[in-house]
């Protein structure tokens, strides 16, 4: 399964440009013309546990692409794993290769943080997630990287029948930050939810791209992404849902909504439904606009300063995504993290 181009940091010819359709809005070759030098081994003490430390669980840590312990994990029963992708590099590049498999009936809460402590690095993160029959995985991603970094994350998710996958990606952007998700959806009561939010300022760029391929009948997908950009930031949403022949009974919904809070901010959106089956229920929607001026006026009339009114309306707009997180402690952690960046 790979509807998206394969990237290899050691091979500059693999770097996609805007001529590659899936990378039209995130021209990697514009920013990266040559293969970066490999990042050094970062022998640093791992202090703290990241944004999700208070939620406990086992840590799975990579520093400059290298695993501190294991690079693969098999999950059974009910577990929490904190996947920390740490970059401590300047002007160099590194690749993470991680794999997590959830056995039949397993319940996994995967809390993923991208922690950038260097400058002008190139991080390429590859994650494989395999869900056996009846397994349930909730993946929550927070990105906190420097404005001059390039960060590409590619997640390949494979579900068996009856599996349940929940994903929420919250991105703060970088020089170029792209978070890809490819889902192989078997149908047969498997259920997928892909949500995302991006909050971008200065000249930051974030790209949330996904492809869900429905291969069998009676599967469901729900997707909601919301974003806010200001200054000269650029947000990109590309969502593609494919319903193959024979995947009748598919129910797939996709929505993307964004606010542009400056004259030079930019949002590019490309929602797609490609349907080869007949008996399906599929829909997508996309809106890009500004804050409701009537609501702003009303709040100012009630004594709220303009900046505070804007912040409240922006938070209310984004929190619809956060509210869909089912795990209460993770939901409140994301809410706090996001509020601090508004």
Q: Tell me the pLDDT tens digit for each residue of 103-148.
A: 999 999 999 999 998 999 999 999 999 999 999 999 999 999 999 9
Is pLDDT larger for residue 243 or for residue 299? 243
Q: What pLDDT score was predicted for residue 4?
A: 67
Q: Tell me the pLDDT tens digit for each residue of 286-318.
A: 999 999 888 888 888 888 898 888 889 999 999
Band of pLDDT at residue 8, cut at 50, 70 and 90: very high
Whether pLDDT at 26 is above 80: yes
Model confidence, pTM: 0.96
Whether pLDDT at 154 is above 80: yes
Nearest in space to 87 (alpha carbons), one of 58, 126, 119, 45: 119
Q: What pLDDT score was predicted for residue 1?
A: 46
Tokens for 214, please give them.
């429905």
- Token pair 């964004």 is found at 258
For the segment 44-54, the average pLDDT, to the nearest whole number, is 80
Q: What pLDDT score was predicted for residue 108?
A: 98
Instruction: Please spell the DSSP secondary structure of 46-87, one letter per residue.
Output: --S--TTGGG--EEEEEETTEESS-SEEEE-SEEEEEEEEEE
Share of the chain above pLDDT 90, in %: 88
Band of pLDDT at residue 32, cut at 50, 70 and 90: very high
Is pLDDT larger for residue 297 or for residue 197? 197
For the segment 170-181, the average pLDDT, to the nearest whole number, is 98
Q: How many Cβ atoms from other residues are within 10 Å of residue 96's Cβ?
A: 22
Whether pLDDT at 43 is above 70: no
Type and span of the H or E element at 130: strand 122-131
Q: What pLDDT score was predicted for residue 14?
A: 95
Q: Tell me the pLDDT tens digit for each residue of 254-291.
A: 999 999 999 999 999 999 999 999 999 999 999 999 99
SS (H, E, C) the chain: CCCCCCCCCCCHHHCCCCCCHHHCCCCHHHHCCCCCCECCCCCCCCCCCCCCHHHCCEEEEEECCEECCCCEEEECCEEEEEEEEEECCECCEEEEEEEEEECCCCEEEEEEEEEECCECCEEEEEEEEEECCCCEEEEEEEEECCCCCEEEEEEEEEECCCCEEEEEEEECCECEEEEEEEEEECCCCCEEEEEEEEEECCCCEEEEEEEEEECCCCCEEEEEEEEEECCCCEEEEEEEEEECCCCCCCEEEEEEEEEECCCCCEEEEEEEEEECCCCCEEEEEEEEECCCHHHHHHHHHCCCCHHHHHHHHHHHHHHHHHCCCCCHHHHHHHHHHHHCCC
Whether pLDDT at 2 is above 70: no
Q: What pLDDT score was predicted for residue 44?
A: 61
């Amino acid at each position: 399964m790979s509807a998206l181009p394969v990237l290899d940091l050691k091979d500059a010819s693999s770097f996609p440009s805007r001529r590659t359709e899936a990378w039209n809005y995130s021209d990697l070759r514009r920013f990266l013309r040559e293969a970066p030098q490999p990042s050094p081994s970062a022998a640093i003490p791992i202090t703290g546990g990241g944004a999700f430390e208070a939620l406990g669980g086992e840590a799975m840590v990579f520093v400059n692409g290298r695993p501190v312990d294991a690079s693969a994990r098999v999950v059974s029963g009910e577990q929490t794993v904190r996947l920390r992708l740490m970059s401590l590099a300047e002007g160099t590049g590194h690749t993470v290769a991680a794999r997590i498999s959830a056995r039949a009936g397993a319940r996994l809460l995967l809390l993923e943080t991208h922690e950038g402590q260097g400058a002008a690095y190139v991080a390429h993160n590859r994650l494989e997630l395999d869900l056996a029959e009846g397994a349930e995985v909730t993946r929550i991603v927070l990105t906190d990287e420097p404005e001059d970094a390039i960060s590409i994350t590619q997640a390949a998710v494979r579900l068996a029948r009856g599996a349940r996958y929940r994903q929420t990606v919250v991105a703060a952007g970088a020089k170029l930050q792209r978070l890809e998700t490819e889902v192989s959806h078997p149908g047969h009561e498997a259920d997928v939810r892909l949500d995302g939010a991006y909050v971008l300022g200065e000249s930051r760029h974030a790209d949330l791209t996904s492809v869900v391929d429905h291969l069998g009948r009676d599967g469901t997908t729900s997707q909601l992404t919301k974003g806010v950009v200001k200054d000269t930031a650029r947000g990109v949403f590309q969502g593609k849902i494919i319903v193959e022949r024979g995947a009748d009974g598919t129910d797939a919904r996709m929505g993307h909504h964004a606010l542009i809070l400056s004259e030079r901010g930019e949002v590019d959106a490309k929602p797609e439904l490609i349907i080869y089956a007949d008996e399906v229920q599929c829909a997508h929607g996309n809106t890009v606009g500004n804050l409701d001026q009537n609501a702003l006026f009303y709040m100012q009339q009630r004594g709220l300063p303009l900046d505070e009114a804007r912040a409240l309306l922006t938070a209310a707009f984004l929190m619809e995504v956060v509210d869909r997180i089912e795990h209460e402690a993770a939901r409140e952690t994301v809410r706090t993290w996001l509020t601090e960046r508004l």
